[in-house]
Amino acid sequence: MKHSKKDSPTTPTMKGFSPGFASLGLEAALLTTLETLGYEEPTPIQQEAIPPLLDGRDLLGRAATGTGKTAAFTLPLLQRLAHSTRQAHPSVLILVPTRELAMQVCEAVERYGKENRVATLAVYGGAAIRPQLLALKRGVDVIVATPGRALDHIRRKSLQLQELQMVVLDEADEMLNMGFAEDLDAILQQTPKTRQTALFSATMPSRIASIARRHLQDPVEIQIAKEPVKSGVAPLVRQTAYLVARQHKVAALARILDMTTPKSTLVFCRTRLEVDELTSMLNSRGYRGEGLHGGMNQAQRDRVMQSFRSGQTELLVATDVAARGLDISHVSHVMNYDVPTSPEAYVHRIGRTGRAGRGGEAVSLVEPRERWLLKNIEHLTKSTIEMATLPTVADLQAKRLERIAVSIQEILKANNFDRFRNVVDKLTEKFNPADVAAAAIQLASGAKDGAPKEQEIPTIQDRTQERASTSRRPRREPPGWAQGPKTGGSSSRPVGRRERPGRSGQSASMATLHFSAGKNASIRPGDFVGAIANEAGINSNVIGPIKISDDFSLVKVPEELAQNIMKVLGRTRIKGKKVKVRLYQE
């Protein structure tokens, strides 16, 4: 039977708690947790979704990422578990598209359900399966899983679904885009008919509606309108972009930081690997930086955020997923080490600066092939992003000398340097006072021999590069290619057709990756899409056509992302197998 609010007494107007959350029907234990975590008022999706979920109704919710829907379904399921007898098998199954989101949702369930001691497990591909098997054998209340690995456990009979009380499909449209439609049907068909089901999706295409008709019973339908991106968004934020070749991006970021010396900077990267590498590089140059990504546990995240908020850390390098929900008021600069593929993500990023009436800076490092992404952003926001030229070594040297001059003026005004006069008197007995001062400034600048240590970063002319990239000879594609993630590999494309940037976000120049596994290993297009999206942190929309033969497979990906994808997937598993990956030479 479905759960009803009548089965669990509520305290809608309990003194000391937020009237917003208390009025939704949440009980004292959860209200106390929310108060401890600093939550004040529910978001629109939470206001609309929590009451019907507490009533045991099925729910079909349309809401974008970042609207607070994780708490919208987590709080009701925790209240339900508090009134349920502990079972031998899982009571709740939450299906998500990526391992990053699986870890994030799992952490949220643990955070909200800390007082109830709810046993939670994140289950996803690319990780060792033995620890997951042992945890499932010990007993788990809530499973947060990607569809492929969940189905793997179901087939192994390590995941039993007969006692499920609730199923949540989070970001259902993204799961379908990644080729998980068949997996979702296979999983849901094995769950009890009496379960409660909640489906959340940012968009509601016909395929989502079809799943809802098959698997939801008389659902409550809610839609949270997406806030429009207004013209001239973030008027207090100055937006600048630099055109940089990929091999010079690290040096370019360091150059910009050296020129601006920002007090509090949020740097966005696409992947966890980039976060770790970039954080290490920045620290080696003397900056105080910390990384933040989905591979960190809550204690690590809390330590990093506390350090950044207190000013002990001046640079926070993060992925989009890890940065969701961050509320930091004092960010002076947002730097896009990678340009996001969607204009909405760009607006969400730069909205972290220029708050509370303060000015802010948003800087983007743009590879020549990504120039069209900026055009999309400018078109959506109806604002102009200034294309600037990277500072030269001479500019940097001049800026450093300018800062030394300012510092010297401050010291002179303070008039607290008597203990150094003896050294100056001795030197000026032998040398010209002006020469002594110049030598001291040279020493302070770190340029002992007067020669710059930095290398010049090659300048790329915007229009020239665009013409060059569009005049390249297109590559020929081998026959038999499958459609990319949008259709789950079910159709073909004409031979020799060049990939062009479009709504899917695919790059103008694509590389082909060769994987040493195919049909004989039961590999499907969705397996590659899931592995690339999960392990390499790549948006599934940029993955191109896929061809699967008996013993090998070919996958097209943006050329600028190919090396990183090979590096990451070279040390993971696909369908439980170690698969070799290399560039395919046509």
Structure tokens at 355: 């708050």
Q: The dihedral of CA 316, 385, 463, 471: what is its sign? A: positive
CATH 3.30.70.330 fits 474-583, yes or no: yes
Query: In Å, what is the CA distance from 63 to each residue of 39, 80, 102, 438, 527?
Result: 20, 23, 18, 62, 26
Neighbours of 189 (CB within 10 A): 10
The CA distance from 513 to 524, in Å, is 15
pLDDT of residue 451: 43
252, 242 Cβ separation under 8 angstroms? yes
The CA distance from 118 to 407, in Å, is 56
Domains 5-223 and 237-389 share a fold: yes
The half-sphere exposure of 312 on its side-chain side, counting CA atoms within 13 A, is 7
Q: What is the pLDDT along the chain (586 residues), one digit of tens a residue?
A: 334 333 333 333 344 444 578 889 998 889 888 877 766 678 889 999 999 999 999 999 998 765 778 899 999 999 999 888 888 899 999 999 888 788 889 988 998 888 778 899 999 887 788 899 999 999 999 999 999 899 999 999 999 999 999 999 998 988 887 888 888 999 999 999 999 999 999 888 888 889 999 999 999 999 987 555 444 455 578 899 999 888 888 889 988 988 887 878 999 987 777 888 899 888 888 888 899 887 777 788 888 888 888 888 889 998 876 676 566 667 889 999 988 766 777 887 887 776 655 678 899 998 877 777 788 788 777 788 888 888 888 887 787 788 788 888 888 888 888 888 888 888 888 889 888 888 888 887 765 444 446 678 877 766 434 443 443 444 444 445 555 544 333 333 333 333 333 334 444 478 899 998 888 888 888 888 888 877 776 767 778 888 888 888 999 888 888 888 888 888 777 877 788 898 887 5
Query: Measuring CA to CA, which residue among 340, 586, 366 is closest to residue 469?
Result: 366
253, 337 Cβ separation under 8 angstroms? yes
Instruction: Note the helical H segments in 338-460.
Output: 343-350, 371-381, 393-414, 421-430, 433-445
Query: In Å, what is the CA distance from 358 to each residue of 311, 329, 353?
Result: 17, 10, 8
Provide CATH code, domain 237-389: 3.40.50.300
The CA distance from 176 to 485, in Å, is 8
Using only C-alpha atoms, the chain has a radius of gyration, in whole angstroms, of 27
Query: In Å, what is the CA distance from 549 to each residue of 54, 148, 203, 525, 572?
Result: 48, 21, 33, 11, 21
The three-class DSSP label of residue 262 is coil
The CA distance from 367 to 384, in Å, is 18
The CA distance from 204 to 210, in Å, is 10
Please identify which residue in the block is written with the tokens 């159709």. Answer: 491
Instruction: Find all residues with CB under 8 Å of 486, minimum gap 6, and list them.
Output: 177, 504, 541
Query: C-alpha angle 276/281/287, rounded to 5°?
Result: 110
The CA distance from 460 to 208, in Å, is 44
Let me know how long the chain is: 586
Q: How do the domains of the chain map onto residue ranges?
A: 5-223, 237-389, 394-445, 474-583
Query: Measuring CA to CA, which residue among 99, 87, 198 is closest to residue 150?
Result: 99
pLDDT of residue 466: 41
Pick 5-223's CATH classification: 3.40.50.11030, 3.30.1490.20, 3.40.50.1820, 3.40.50.300.
3.40.50.300
Structure tokens at 389: 């030229």
The CA distance from 178 to 539, in Å, is 10
pLDDT of residue 326: 64
Structure tokens at 554: 């070919």
